[in-house]
Structure 1
Amino acid sequence: MAEVSVAADDEAALPPGAPSTDLLSLHESIAGVLATQGDWRRAYHHLKSAFDLARAGSLRDTLTSSYNRRYLDQWLHGPSVERRGPAGMAIALVDLDLFKEVNDTFGHLVGDRVLREVADLLQQGLPSEGFCARYGGEEFALVLPDVDHAHAVRIADTARIRVAHHPWARIRPGLSVTISVGLAHENRAEVVEPERQLRHADSLLYMAKRAGRNKVAYHDKDSSRTIPRSMNSADSPGA
């Protein structure tokens, strides 16, 4: 039996930017061909690459391509104290305001597109070690390591403004989208369990909702605050 040549060993058979599912299938196919030729070392290499791609895919949300709840849980229950950095760490829970009305008015396909675009907007401007994860439904979590309290508030409010100012009407006339954010910051010296910090962010998120939505709620020293503080507040990135 003639030996089969594997021309796609370096993934050159796929166009740039090919989906990871295609890369996974390619690695599996190459591994099968190499195994039939007795080249077990290279077959193992491609099987390992397929496994790594499958694992990476299992940590991504299929709709928005942001990280999923599984990745968030793994990160928070890992050595997160060491990852906080000297300035501490913030967790922000983000919820799309009145998202059910978006689905009811414009349909679920538009709702899905809104979720994808909000995820993209939330991932902009994060610190190098920060990330966005879909927490569930229309909720997202922002994990912001090594940021002080003031910086965390700026990141959260800039994200709020970015979403509110996004040209949603280009998707459908009359469409507008805002988010509410609950932001919980802990100093490095405050070793807080991840569940407690998440619960804190969740309670602040509900505070932002009760204050009228399209707000960021956070603790400032001994009190809780929201921004903007009134519906007439200046609402621009420089405000």
Structure 2
Amino acid sequence: MTKWDIVKETIFEDLRTDSARELQLRTLLLGTVFLALISAILTAMNIAKGWWLMTASTGLLVAGFLVAALCAKRKKALASSVITAVMVAVTFSFYALSGQNEGFACLWILLVPVIGPSLLGIRVAFFLSTYFQLFLIALFCTPLNQMVVDHYTATFIARFPVLYFAAFGGMGVLAVQKQYYLNKTVDQAYHDGLTKLYNRIYYTQALEKHAEDDFSLAVFDLNRLKYVNDTFGHLAGDEVICAAADLLSETFGSDSVVARIGGDEFAVISPADSEQMNELLAHIAQEALSWKGSFPGCECPLALSVGCVARGEFPDYSLEEVLKEADRRMYQDKSAWYQGSGFDRRR
């Protein structure tokens, strides 16, 4: 992956975890309420001084920021970010064009690349700052600059674009770096290093989140992994683990939480009902039979024991009791597999 690919992935990808989304929602809610309060104070000051055009613009900001805060309260992060960005773009473009307040235009447009990534999220802030770059190029570096010559001082016209581009460039690089390392930290915190599936931490959080929902839980355990490790080496064992992870991930898809919760243990939290789960488990069993490892002489099949429980089967059970039932069924299936195959369970 090239550096540009990493930058594009960092800017355009969605937030990966519920905790990251919750953090952005809280930031948006507090930020938009704070901006609405500041705009309300400015509106009161403009009314006192009789600046009616300024009053209308800051009043519009108050309304926009309150709507954005309401969206954040209702957990609509993208809508809140976009509304805030549009309000900022329209109002501050007006100030820059009209020359109503040279200091105000300079201050707020310079603040956009600074506060944007932390408040709006890097994706919306990126587009907002890009808009202002194009806007200022048109305003100061084309014949359109005649529109503002009479409103601004020569010093402001000469230096302000340089200040903005420097601020955007510096803060843009820092924001992308911050988001990139935040994404890597989240990946390491919630994903298994070998299989790239979710890890036990994420699985536990997902279970708690879905505790009251109607879901199916499947617990898987690899058979004969010790035999593969002892006979063919741990690289062969890793290949078996990764093959099982790929099979589970492909079968259950993105609607389910597929996690590696131990050395040879996997778990799936799925919205599928009992009938659908039976079909999926039958598919896994069929695909596992046809798997062949790449290590010479390794004829050990990809065998997975499974215990599956639908939450609706035991509505009165606690989450811990549901987990115990899934484990019990998995070990029951494992015993049956070893008895039927004739292999030594200790190997």
Instruction: Tell me if both proteins adopt one fold, taking TM over 0.5 as the criterion.
Output: yes
Q: Which amino acid aligns with 1:12?
A: W
Aligned partner of 1:12 in structure 2 is 4
Which deviations, in whole Å up to 9, do the C-alpha atoms of 1:17-57 show, x marking residues without a partner?
Answer: 9xxxxxxxxxxxxxxxxxxx873465245313321331123
Q: For residues 122 and 212 of structure 1, do their structure 2 counterparts lie closer, same or farther at Cα, with a shift above 3 Å needed?
A: same
Letter in 1 for 2:193: T
Instruction: Tell me the residue number matched to 1:181.
Output: 306
Which secondary structure does the structure 1 equivalent of 2:4 belong to? coil
- Listed as ranges, the gaps of 5+ residues in structure 1 are 1-9, 18-36, 215-229, 232-239
- Number of matched residues? 182
Aligned residue in 1 for 2:264: 138
Q: Could you give the per-residue CA deviations for residues 47-97 of structure 1, whole angstroms, max 9, x where no partner exists?
A: 13321331123211111111111110111112443xx4xxx3111111111
CA contact (8 A) 1:179 1:213 kept: no
Letter in 1 for 2:241: L
Structure 1's 143 and 172: CA in aligned 2 closer, same or farther, altered over 3 A?
farther
Q: In terms of mean alpha carbon deviation, does 107-116 or 127-136 score higher?
A: 127-136
Larger Rg: 2
Query: Is 2:99 the partner of 1:107?
Result: no
How much has 1:136 moved relative to structure 2?
0.2
Partner of 1:165: 290
Aligned mate of 2:202, from 71, 80, 89: 71
Render the CA deviation track for 1:168-205: whole Å, top value 9, x for unaligned.
3x433242221111111122992643322221110001
Q: Secondary structure of 1:172's match?
A: coil
Is contact 2:252-2:270 (8 Å) kept? Answer: yes
Query: What is the distance in 2 between the residues matched to 1:96 and 1:151?
Result: 22
Give the structure with the larger strand fraction: 1
Is residue 98 of structure 1 aligned with residue 224 of structure 2?
A: yes
For the residue of structure 2 that corresponds to 1:50, the secondary structure is helix
Residues 117/58 of structure 1: CA separation in 2 closer, same or farther (3 Å cut): same
Q: Provide the C-alpha distance between the structure 1 equivalents of 2:258 and 2:192, rounded to a whole number of angstroms.
A: 11
CA RMSD of the aligned region, Å? 3.0
Maintained 8 Å contact 2:306/2:333 = yes
Compute the TM-score of the two structures, normalised by the length of structure 2: 0.47
Q: Distance in 2 between the 1:144 and 1:13 partners? A: 32
Q: Is the 8 A contact 2:207 2:269 kept in 1?
A: no
Do the aligned partners of residues 191 and 60 (structure 1) sit closer, same or farther apart at CA in structure 2, a change above 3 Å counting? farther
Candidates 315, 318, 326, aligned match of 1:190: 315
In the other structure, the counterpart of 2:182 is 51
Kindly indicate whether structure 1 or structure 2 has the higher relative contact order, using CA contacts under 8 Å at least 6 residues apart.
Answer: 1
Q: Report the AA paired with residue 280 of structure 2.
A: I
Is it true that 1:117 corresponds to 2:243 in the alignment?
yes
> TM-score, structure 1 length as denominator?
0.66
- Structure 1 residues 16 and 171 mapped into 2: Cα distance closer, same or farther (>3 Å)? farther
User: Which of 142, 148, 156 is residue 273 of structure 2 equivalent to?
Assistant: 148
Q: Secondary structure at the match of 2:196?
A: coil
